[in-house]
Amino acid sequence: MKPMPPHPTPASPVPSDEEDDLLPLLDDEPLPTRVGGLDTRTPWLILVVDDDEDVHQATELALRGLSIEGRPLHLLHAHSRAEALALLAAHEDLAVMLLDVVMESDDAGLQLVREARTALQRESLRIILRTGQPGYAPELDTIRDYDINDYRTKSELTRVRLFTSLTTALRAYRQMCAHEQTRRGLEMVVRASTDLSRLHGMHLFARGVVKQLCALLGIAPEGLICAQAGLQHQDDPARVIAAAGQYGDLIQRPLSDLGVPHVQQALQRCLEEQRNHFDHGVTLYFATSDGRGLAAYIDHHEPLAPLDQHLLEVFCSSMSAGFENVLLYGRLVDQAYVDPLLHIPNLNQFLKHLSALHMPDTERYLAVVDIDGFASINDMLGHGFGDAMLRAVSQRLTSSLGEPCVVARVSADVFGVLGPKGLVDAEPLQALFKTPFHVQSQTVRLSATMGLVRLDQPDLVGPELLKDAHLALKRAKGLQRGSVCYFSAEMGQDARTRMQLLDSLRAATGSSQLFTVYQPKVCLHTGRVLGLEALLRWRKPDGEMVPPDRFIPLAEQAGLMAVLGTFVLHSACSQLRRLHEAGHRTLSMAINVSQAQLREPDFIPLLADTLNETGVQPASVELEVTESMAADDLGLMRQRLGEIGALGLTAAIDDFGTGFSSLSVLRHLKADRLKIDRAFVAEIEQDSRIARMVVNLGHSLGMTVVAEGVETASQRGMLLELGCDEGQGWLFARPMDEPALLAWLATHPA
């Protein structure tokens, strides 16, 4: 190994020894000093690695003043593997390494190749091996595995051949760098698309696009994005929706008063022409499906290479899809969280506000505001007028209550209001309805019933607050129109008790907890047993009996009456069959049916199937309906009673006098019996006028009259005087289960 001089030395006279490997570098015709154009661009970095200083000087002399592909050459020198490694690590843009194979060791050059490729990951670096000792040539596998660009003995490497090898290597390096730049650019585009896909807000997404654009160009974030007019909302002007760097204070500024003429003109031109521009800065256009796109201006005034322009166009295409997705997401959010009619928060958004509350909150109240009589207005004046009225109410609430309050539409004609207690309270809210509303050229006076919740209780949480407000609203509706009720802990406890009872009732459905009992009906004149009424009872697992007036209304509200009614119908018919088989063949059975049952389209087929299955005669079964049911839907009731009569069953009108129906309702119903409600029987000794009226009315219509709740002999006597036909009550017998009933019938024959 030749010793390395401590400092560069001038070139020595060329010796005549045939083994001297420097001669070929100098012994050739002169080369042009410019190849491929002017050398005004960044020079190529060439690393010369050799332990012989003369080789370094000869290489410098051979390549002095030359350019390749329009770029000059700049040589760096290393005299050992360690020096070369340091230079490789310090200069990532090294293009070619002219490497001596044999230096401080026989394989020092090949070790350097391995380290450059594996440890430093310099895949684009082109390597030209040079050796003065052909016996140290690398194996073919080494040349292939480590991507060695060329291998020459120094005697082969004349000046022209050196230039040719370098030109070939640099062209390969340029192509590899271009491919790598394209790959990295496309990776950045894909990564940007992936990262930005998580940003659903238009402003956040646009700001991310500015940042990624500047990263793609390798510059500091200096730019902005402008949305075209009407992109998100029809009345929106073209405005800046994202900005960075020196343009940061332009965010949300309309394009018309941007105050930066060259930026304003570039954006306006880009939006009008709907295409990219790469002169006077970079201006990019992002198209959307409706033709209302966005433009981005980036402060980058250096000329862009074709590859950079191509990458930016790919980026624009990708980000256009991203902007489209953001707009779609925005529309989906509007549908999910904004009321489409009033353009205010809907129930979902209001619940989000409530979930974000920190309780207790002594400064704010929650209110639900129900427009009185809205359904009637809709029916009389049409849905168009009703919608206009809701808009008028919404506008007054939002404009009067202002920014501190959240106003939302939580159901058809109910608004939710959350805000400071000075604004969201009974008096200020009711004051908003004292002035008439102007709706479609008409003056309309409205009132509202309200439920309020004070948010000063620590145990109140999120969406449960709205339930509490609705409980207060329901209590207010029970008072009078236009009233206000505040939620209380007692009110909440009552509601929880009802919900617990309802859950228990659902669990009891279909179990032995629900059963039927039977109360006899007798002839008031003779005391003879005529029939029975089936009554539903509920005994909880702990033995507690739940009164029917507690669980029947719950079942009606929860939609359980059809299920419970079917159970009672089947149980009562089965019981009647067993009684007939036991010898009590003249007894009839009265069964209460609910409005929910009668509304079921398959009620009549179900009734017929039950009669066939149990084998009882239709004439011995009577169905009882209430007066209020008949008044609610007279047409349906007439149809159902006609179908019931066609099957051979009889019908009775129960609880007569407790509803608000016209007396003419009875004339249109094909009923056989009329029942006096127990409330009128209880007061018959003090005031018998209603009982007398019911008896006379029933008889005049050819109906049998039955009195419920007869408890004393005096009541029975007065009913007899009035001409009442039948009675049931504790005076005769309490409701009984089957064993008790059979025992009672043994001593009270029909």
Domain assignment of residue 207, given as a range: 198-337
Residue 560 domain flag: yes
Based on the fold, state whether residues 237 and 289 are members of the same structural domain. Answer: yes
**What is the tens place of the pLDDT at every residue in 86-95?**
999 999 889 9
What share of the chain in percent tops pLDDT 70?
85
Confidence bin at 41 (pLDDT 50/70/90): low
Asked, for residue 3, whether it belongs to a domain, the answer is no
Is pLDDT at 196 greater than 70 in this prediction? no
**What tokens appear for 320 in the block?**
């256009």
- Decide which of 181, 213, 239 is a domain's last residue: 181
Alpha helix locations (H) across 122-222? 140-145, 159-196, 202-217
**Predicted model pTM:** 0.52
Look at residue 263 and tell me if it is in a domain.
Answer: yes
Residue 4 has pLDDT above 60, yes or no: no
pLDDT in tens, 675-684: 999 999 999 9
Query: Within 13 Å of residue 62, how many CA atoms lie on the same side as its CB?
Result: 24
Chain mean pLDDT for the chain: 83
Tens digits of residue pLDDT in 319-333: 777 777 777 777 777
Do 632 and 656 lie in a common domain?
yes
Task: Kindly state whether residues 529 and 630 are assigned to the same domain.
Answer: yes
Burial of residue 518 (CB within 10 Å: 0-12, 13-18, 19+) is buried
Same domain for 685 and 575? yes
pLDDT score recorded for residue 231: 56
Task: Please tell me whether residue 454 adopts helix, strand or coil conformation.
Answer: strand
Q: State mean pLDDT over 369-381.
A: 91
- As for how many domains the chain has, the answer is 4
Per-residue pLDDT tens digits for 255-266: 888 888 888 888
Q: How far is CA 211 from CA 165, 188, 264, 509, in A?
A: 42, 12, 20, 63
pLDDT tens per residue across span 14-38: 333 333 444 455 444 454 443 333 3
What phi, psi does 706 have (nearest 5°)? -120, 135
pLDDT at position 14: 35
Last residue of a domain, one of 156, 181, 206: 181
Q: Residue 69 burial by CB count (10 A; 0-12/13-18/19+): exposed, middle or buried?
A: middle
Whether residue 243 sits in one domain with residue 137:
no
Same domain, 367 and 468: yes
CATH number at residue 104: 3.40.50.2300
Write the pLDDT tens digit of every residue in 264-273. Answer: 888 888 888 8
Identify the CATH number of the domain in which residue 203 sits. 3.30.450.40
- Helical (H) or strand (E) element with 727: strand 726-727
Tell whether omega for the bond before 547 is within 30 degrees of 0, i.e. cis: no
pLDDT for residue 359: 81
Q: Is there a single domain that holds both residue 595 and residue 738?
A: yes
Task: Give the pLDDT mean for 276-302.
Answer: 83
pLDDT tens, position by position, 557-587: 888 898 999 999 999 999 999 999 999 999 9
Q: What is the pLDDT of residues 123-161, one digit of tens each?
A: 889 888 887 665 555 556 666 666 777 777 766 667 788
The more confidently predicted of residues 201 and 25 is 201
Q: How confident is the model at residue 2 (pLDDT cuts 50, 70, 90)?
A: very low
In this structure, the answer to whether residues 531 and 657 fall within a common structural domain is: yes
* Dist CA 267 CA 283 (whole Å): 7
Residues 429 and 553 in one domain: no
Same domain, 714 and 740: yes
